[in-house]
Structures are given as structure tokens and as C-alpha cells.
Structure 1
Amino acid sequence: MTVQLPPKGIYSPIPTFFKKDYSIDYESILKHVRYLYQAKVTGILIGGSTGEAINLTREERHEIIRRVRSEFPDPSFKVMGGAIGSCIPDLLDDIQGLKSLKVDYAVVLVPGYYGPGLTKQQGLVNFFQTVADSSKLPLLIYNYPGVQNNIDLTIESYIKLAKHPNIVGCKLTHYNFTLYTLICQNEEIKSANFRPLAGVGQVLVPALATGIEGCIDGLSNVFPKSMLKVFNDYGKGDTVQAAKFQELVTTVNEMTAVLNLLGLKFALNHILGIGEVLHGRPPIDQDIDESVWEKYLPAFEKLWAIEKGL
């Protein structure tokens, strides 16, 4: 039986909020997810890089998911879960836990610890095929060279992996439009059960032009309706309007490119009052440079005014 693909659309990789003692602020997380659910995003990713997964215990990640799924059992609201690590038996155990919590898809980062000198393409193919063979959930490949020692999967590797019945897509968190195009327009991949998603909303319109079918983007945490508008306008054929609105989205997204997940927390606190503290656990426990925030504030306020009217 063919595994169901992630629906096309916009997914929000949610940040993890903490209290002053660095314990998990579940109340703020749930308040944020309510905001996203009401905005009708396609789904969320819990335990990704924006969610500070590497600074959470497995028990904490799973408890966040448990609470979210308990409040939002709607099967049309897709929940992706980050499966952390590159030790295959441990990874499979993590995925088994995600499955028990009613996660829809496991997102697995390309392993990069040993760097491109030791890590060969066939080794990466073997890694994902081995995980997929035994995984209790369908997999999305998370390709983020910036955090994986600049290792990138090649088009040849994607062609092999897209044919695996339990690998249903990828999240491309980079600006390699050559690879976007090769993946989206390759006939072998197009005939497979495989959904390519972008991981950077700054370039959603050009990514859609290559054949990308959705986005897992940090800014959608703050402006979900705006990101959906870009996606839907393009899908309806109104590419001029989509590109025009993309310019404002991209301007604001440059703030998150500089401040990253801490900027998202700051922005969510600014507009929704979410969060007791606006930084993460050490080593990312320092407050943001507010001069960066002030630089982008006019564009931010302009987009927020539009967001409220959508």
C-alpha cells in the first residue's frame, strides 16, 4: 500500500519556550499552536532545529508532542516529529515513540558529524534506506548543510532515496536552486511517492517555480496567514501578486535569518505575549541584539497589519 504523502502547504517548525529555570513552558507552546491551528496551517514540526531539539531530552520532546496531540487530535492537522541522532537503533527507537504519540511523519537530519571527508554519498543512501526499512513512520529527509558539516545529498542520492516506499519527501533548508530544480523536475522522482518541501520561506515563490510543493518555514510561526497567502496565490496562478507579497515576507524574514529562532520568540512575544523568557537553553541563552529587531520593525509592523486582516 502506498504511504500517504504530506499534504502540500505550509508547515510551521515551532520553537520551544522555556521558563526562567529552563524547564519547558508547555503553556506558551500550546498557546502558540492554538494560534497556528486557527490560522489553518497545514501542520507543524515539533523537535526541529527551530524547536531547539538538540537541547531537549527525548522525554521532553515526546511530552511536548503528547500535549499538542492531546489538544489537537484533528487528523487533518499534520504533526511532524524530529527524530534526533545518527545512531540507527536509537533513531528507530525514537521514531517508535513518535508513532505511539500519533505523529504523522518523522523528520531525519542528514548525518554530518564526520564531515564530507569520511561521509560518502552511498553511505548516506545506506543510512536513510536502513532507517526507512524499519521505521514505524514515513520519513522526510532533512537536508540542512549549515548544521550538518556542509554535507549535501546529490541528485543521484535523491533519485535512489525517493524510490523507497517509506521515504515520502524532503525539507531543503538551503538556497541551492540547482538541486531544487533537479529534484522537482526529475522524471524518476516525479513518478515516485515523494514530496519536496522548501525550508526557507524567503524564497518560497522562486522555490515553487522549480516545482517545490510546500514549505516548512520559521516565519510562518509568526505570520502563518501571510505565508499561506503567498503559497495559495501562486497555486491559483496569481504569480504576480504572490511575488509582490513575497517581497514583504522576504524583508521581514531577513530578521529571522539574522536572529534565527530567538528572533521568532521575540516576535511572538511582541505580537501575542507568548513566552516567559525569549532565549533558549545554554549556549543560546543570551538575549537578541535589539538593534536588528528595530531595523526590521517597520516592515514587521506592516506585515502584521496585513496578517490581522487576512
Structure 2
Amino acid sequence: MTLPTPLTGVVPPVCTPLTPDREVDVPSLLRLVDHLMAGGVHGLFVLGSTSEAAYLTDGQRERVVRAVVGHVGGQLPVLAGAIDMTTPRVLDHVGRVTAAGADAVVATAPFYTRTHPAEIARHYRMLAAASPVPVLAYDIPPAVHTKLAPELVLELAADGVLAGLKDSSGDLGGFRRVVTAARTHPGLTGFTALTGSELVVDAALALGADGAVPGLANVDPHGYVHLYRLCRAGDRERARAEQERLCALFGLVGVGDPARMGGSSSALGAFKAALHLRGVITCPATAEPQIPLSADEVERVGKFLAAGGLL
């Protein structure tokens, strides 16, 4: 389907369920998609950070996109990450995910190599020139060690290179500059500005964001869709209460012991444990070499779900 301009609403970064031997569990993936669609989400983002895209082989990435696009059947836009270290590798992913049916691609700045803003701009211009679908920038400095400057994003947007931004930088002030310019500059009509934060969706929408890409929406899509609707209706008190409930639920990402695992193992393990406990996916395995949650940590995930009214 054609990507709406702008794309609005809740667009979860879809987890990638895996089998015990770490292959893509397509039946669980499709149940997860059904779970998200039943929650009323407005689009799907596959092959992002929450999708464990960095851990998947090229074949697994392509399998995910084809399965989701085929299952959705044009009912919702499907955005696909084309995330890799350098422009030639990202261009290869762009070709694969668009051939598999993605409605838009989402790409970070190059990483591993040290880049200059001019090189980042050239990177996105080359992606846009090669892509048959819109390109959105993904600003995630903790992962790629580069912050996309608002001025660069706006320049590329004005030139028709970028159709939108998924902001996971934590820089709400910088995001606000992009959002404000996108709403006032006549050359930026239709630009999509999405927050990647679970914790400040209400604030981002209040300052003019089009929507949100919260990983926690895998676990509670109804909650984030409800929050989005309350914000759009101007019901600040109920929106704040729902955001605070979701902030409390987000505490589940910290169940993993930092003495034996990284933050991604804890957060992604908790999302998958929650989906397993809710009966959505068959196996809560995360990709290697991430450390699995212990039985006690999974039990704590269940307590967060119960407190949030999800069990």
C-alpha cells in the first residue's frame, strides 16, 4: 500500500519470535501481528532494534518481511529496517526488503566507521535515489554513535530525500525542532515525525509528533492505541494516567541482572517473556549471544503484567 503522508498513530517495532534453535518462528510472528492488529495499531515496523534485526541473517530478515507483508495483505503499512554498517550493505537490504513488499524503509546513519555529516547526508541521498519506496531516518545514537542533527534531517526532508524520522535519541528538544519545522515549513508537508520512546509518548504528541514506535506496544498494543486516542482527543488527564500506567509496565525491561547480562538481553528478553506469558508466541528465546532471563526474572515479568492488568 502507499505510505500515508504523514503516517500517524502507533507503529510498533515488531518483535521477531524465534524457535529454540534460533530460526524465525513464522506462526508465532503472524500471531503477534494479529495481536497487534487486534489492538488497533496503525502500522508495523519490522527489522528494527526491538526486532533484533542486527542478529538476523539476510535470509531471516527477508523471511520476516515476506511473512508479515503477505499476512497483512495491505491492511496496514509495513515499514522495514534496512540497517547495516555502510551504504553498499544498506542498499542491498533496501533491494531485499522492497522486493519483499515493504511500503517504506527505515535506515540509520552508517556506523562502525567514523562518519562526517556530509557523508551521512550522502548516505541518505543514495538510499533515496535507489529506493522505490519512501525512506525514513532512524536516529538512535546509543546504537550507531552518531546523532542526526535536526538541521540535517530538515535539509534532507526539504530536498525530498527523507519522508520521515523515527527518533530514538532521547533528545526531546531536538525532536521538537524537527516537528515544529515540519509543521511550519511549506516544503515539508507530509513529513512523518515519530517518537521511539515508550515513556514520553504523551509529551511527544503534545508537541506535534505524528505518532509513536514503542517497543512495549508489542506487549500492550491496546494501551498505546488508547493513549494515542486520548491525546488526540485532548483528554490530558486520562492520557497522563494511561502514560503513567505504561511507564510502570515498562519497568519490566529492567528485570535482568546487569551483573550477568546487557540491557538488550534484559529488555528484549522481557518483551518476549511477556508475549509468551500472554500466549502470543510459543518460545521466548532471544537471538545469540544474548543471555536468557532466569525463571525468577520471568516471574517478575509476570508480576509487571498482572499489575498492568494484562494477566
TM-score (norm 2): 0.88
Residues 274 and 301 in structure 2, CA contact (< 8 A), matched pair in contact too: no
Give the aligned partner of residue 240 of structure 1: 237
1:266 counterpart = 2:273: yes
Structure 1 residue 188: Cα displacement:
3.2
1:31 and 1:297, CA in 2 relative to 1: closer, same or farther beyond 3 A?
Answer: closer
Corresponding position of 1:302: 307
Cα offset, 1:98, TM superposition: 1.8
Q: How many residues align?
A: 298
Deviation at 1:90, TM superposition (A): 3.4
Partner of 2:36: 36
Give the corresponding residue for 1:112.
111
1:25-50, CA deviations, whole angstroms, 9 ceiling, x for partnerless residues?
Answer: 11111111111122221111111111
Q: Which of 141, 144, 147 is matched with 1:148 structurally?
A: 144
Distance 1:175 1:298, change over 3 A: same
Structure 1: distance between partners of 2:250 and 2:303 = 13
Distance 1:196 1:69 in 2: 23
Q: State whether residues 219 and 271 of structure 2, in contact with CA within 8 Å, keep that contact through their aligned partners in structure 1.
A: yes
Report how far residue 289 of structure 1 moved: 4.9
Q: Deviations over 1:208-228 (max 9, x none)?
A: 122111011111101001000
Write the letter of the residue equivalent to 2:130: S
Unmatched tracts of structure 1, length 5 or more: none
Over 6 Å off, 4+ runs: none
Structure 1 residues 169, 215: CA separation in 2 closer, same or farther (over 3 Å shift)? same
User: Residue 96 of structure 2 aligns with which residue?
Assistant: 97
Q: What is the letter of the counterpart of residue 282 of structure 1?
A: E
Residue type at the aligned position of 2:95 = Q
* Residue 193 (structure 2) pairs with residue 207 (structure 1): no
Kept in 2, the 8 Å contact 1:255–1:293? The answer is: no
Pairwise CA RMSD of aligned residues? 2.2
Could you tell me the percent identity over the aligned residues?
A: 24
Contact conserved, 1:122 with 1:157, CA < 8 A, in 2? no
Alignment correspondent of 2:292 = 287
Q: What residue identity is the alignment partner of 1:40?
A: G
Q: 1:175: which partner in 2? A: 170
> Matches of 1:21 and 1:296 in 2, distance apart?
23
- Rounded to whole Å, the distance in 1 between the matches of 2:281 and 2:167 is 28
Name the SS for the 2:200 alignment partner.
Answer: helix
1:252 to 242, 249, 254: 249
Q: Distance in 2 between matches of 1:56 and 1:129?
A: 26
Residue deviations 1:115-170, cap 9 Å, x none?
xxx42222211211221122122111011111112x10112111211113242111
Structure 2 residue 222 is matched with structure 1 residue 194: no
TM normalised by structure 1 equals: 0.88
- Change in Cα spacing, 1:263 to 1:40, as seen in structure 2 (3 Å) is same
Q: In the aligned structure 2, how far is the partner of 1:130 from the partner of 1:267?
A: 39
Gaps of 5+ in 2: 255-262
- 1:11 maps to 11
Contact 2:86 2:111 in 1 (8 A): no
Query: Does residue 1:58 correspond to 2:58, yes or no?
Result: yes
Q: Whole-Å Cα distance in 1 between the matches of residues 186 and 226 of structure 2? A: 27
- CA–CA distance in 1 between the matches of 2:62 and 2:93? 9
Distance 1:192 1:154 in 2: 20
**Distance in structure 1 (CA, Å) of the matches to 2:160 and 2:187:** 14
Q: Work out whether residues 66 and 101 of structure 1, in 8 Å CA contact, stay in contact via their aligned partners in 2.
A: yes
Per the alignment, do residues 64 and 113 of structure 1 end up closer, same or farther by CA in structure 2, a change over 3 Å counting? same
Question: Aligned pair in 2 of structure 1 residues 216, 273: CA closer, same or farther (>3 Å)?
Answer: closer
Tell me what 2:48 maps to: 48
